[in-house]
Structure 1
Amino acid sequence: MGQSISAPAERLSAHVNGINLSFLSQGEGPLVIFMHGFPDLAISWRHQMKAVAEAGYRAVAPDMRGYGDTDAPDDPALYSQFHIAGDITGLMDHLGEETAVLVGHDMGANVDWAMATFVPERVRGVVVLSIPHKPRGAQPPVASSPPRFYQRLFQELGVEEADLASKVDTFIPGIFDRLSGSSELGAPPALIVPEGQHFSDLFQPPKAAPAWMGQEEIDTYVETFKRTGFRGALNWYRNIDNNWHTAAPWAPGHVQVPAAFIIGTVDVAWALFKDNGVIDSQVHRVPNLWDVRVLEGVGHWIAQERPDDVNDLLLTFLAKLDS
């Protein structure tokens, strides 16, 4: 693909899979879809979208179901991995594309792996940030987790979203700082919430916005979540065990499409999945894992903390895919 100067990202919308999906679009060419996690928005991919568009691709980043300007149904049952996959395939159809390269981070990374398993004919390849391909365990993952693990707390309707909504001004800068690789408070906290506390209590706000994000971006996140609340975002977590059950026909869930993976050594996901061997063993479940990169000292927000490294991985992968 030849390099070209692309116009800035444009905000568009589409009615797909029963919801109105808002998305950013930049550039023209083969489709690359970027999928964010919690508590992120489409703008988290701003660095990657520009690079991909200038390389001759169409970069599209939705506010995922439940986030930002996209619809957020109240019913948790409407956030299964099949609903999310339907949103993305519906977006492809809306854009007139049969296939796309999928790029995902955090909960969006799980969408990468799921779609590559369930509808590989729609997926040219996947680039995955932070969350490795995991084997299907013997038990539902949330139900078998420690009692005060944050995902267990998210299961109770109304409690954690109300707390987060009351603390948006401190929670948003706090989580972006504390889960990064540059927090003055040191290593990220374990994601076990002490008795009598809320998830938000793990994330005290920094004195200033992280240098890799900036106050303007923080303000955008704060203003958005003040408007939308967190119900839709937490509904994703309320489907984790249901997703485990409904994925049974595809077990063990090997991914055959080309893939690339990148993670930082200060990422909370590194702590969760390195010592138990999940990161190293994913090569056995993803035989076409073309590239694996580990960035020293980088935290969870890898696409924003180290955009040049992520862009290099992404553009190298796309060039190989199209060679």
Structure 2
Amino acid sequence: MDQIQHKFVDIRGLKIHMAEIGTGDKVVVFLHGFPEIWYSWRHQMIAVANAGYRAIAPDIRGYGLSEVPSEPEKTTFKDLTDDVLAILDFYGVPKAFVVGKDVGAITAYHFVVAHPERVTGVVTLGVPYTPPGHSFAYEGQIPEGFYVLRWQKPGRAEADFGRFDVKTVVKNIYILFSKADIPIAEENKEIMDLVHPTTPLPSWFTEEDLSIYAALYEKSGFRTPLQVPYRYYNQYVFRRMTF
């Protein structure tokens, strides 16, 4: 990964960490999800650079090495969308392919809607398109123990995560998210209780990967990640969602 370059740039008043590789006019912007960072895209970045593209992957504001906003709980998806526009302007990129997952997918959708003239194409993973401000037309049958609903509630995730070190929290989330079953806790349990301490990491996620993620979440904390996506977007999307 030594060929990937790193720097910090001032994006709308915050120092945002940027990873980049490749040259040329064809640009791909990679937007990560939770519990991820720019590092999640490292293999794809190298692949698109080898194919003749320039790859740019920020740590979203409040994530990884990027600066945490002074009031993380006020962060919105408009902030993330405006950040993408400012990043393109910083690099002097008129149009780019936008690739997003999870938080990054929602940001990509919003960016395409707000600034279609700046997008060559879009690829998203993990989250379907939902217009800004739109709710799914379902009513209240989703289990209370669903991890999204638990993490929506201020203080609930903080208390749950606070029982463990950051590395264990990140490890447990990756184990939960790698399963086929959706993480749902019983009434008297928390989300972290769904992972037995002896459960191994997924085969595709190494101890080295875990250490890299954990070190960066120790730096950033979880205040911004819990706000976006869970406490901002999902307050009107998942509240009405059922299976």
The TM-score with structure 1 as length reference comes to 0.65
Report the CA distance between 1:56 and its aligned residue. 0.9
Helix, strand or coil at the partner of 2:185:
coil
The match for 1:213 is 205
Higher RCO, 1 or 2 (CA under 8 Å, sep at least 6)? 2
Picking from 175, 178, 188, the partner of 1:177 is 175
The match for 2:160 is 163
The match for 2:149 is 152
Report the CA distance between 1:137 and its aligned residue. 3.1
Report the CA distance between 1:57 and its aligned residue. 0.9
Partner Cα separation in structure 2 for residue 225 and residue 44 of structure 1 = 14
Q: 1:164 to 1:51 in 2, by over 3 A?
A: same
Q: 1:146 to 1:79 in 2, by over 3 A?
A: farther
Q: Structure 1, residues 73-115: CA drift from partner, whole Å, max 9, x if none?
A: 2535532111000111111111111221110111211111111
Contact 1:142 1:241 in 2 (8 A): no
2:9 is equivalent to residue 14 of structure 1: yes
Give me the CA root mean square deviation. Answer: 2.8
Report the CA distance between 1:196 and its aligned residue. 2.8
Q: 1:42 to 1:162 in 2, by over 3 A?
A: farther
Q: Structure 1, residues 173-218: CA drift from partner, whole Å, max 9, x if none?
A: 22223322xxxxxx43323332132222233455544332211111
Helix, strand or coil at the partner of 2:153:
coil
Contact 2:151 2:231 in 1 (8 A): yes
- The percentage of counterpart residues that share the same residue type is 33
Q: Structure 1, residues 273-300: CA drift from partner, whole Å, max 9, x if none?
A: 9xx7xxxxxxxxxxxxxxxxxxxxxxxx
The match for 1:57 is 53
The match for 1:86 is 82
Structure 1: segments with no counterpart, 5+ residues: 1-5, 181-186, 245-271, 277-323
Q: Structure 1, residues 107-159: CA drift from partner, whole Å, max 9, x if none?
A: 211111111112111211101112222463366x8988543332222233333
Picking from 217, 220, 233, the partner of 1:240 is 233
The match for 2:111 is 115
Helix, strand or coil at the partner of 1:20:
strand
Partner Cα separation in structure 2 for residue 138 and residue 106 of structure 1 = 17
The residue type equivalent to 2:53 in the other structure is Y
Contact 2:28 2:98 in 1 (8 A): yes
The match for 1:189 is 181
Partner Cα separation in structure 2 for residue 63 and residue 143 of structure 1 = 34
Contact 1:158 1:231 in 2 (8 A): no
Partner Cα separation in structure 2 for residue 125 and residue 44 of structure 1 = 20
Helix, strand or coil at the partner of 1:154:
helix
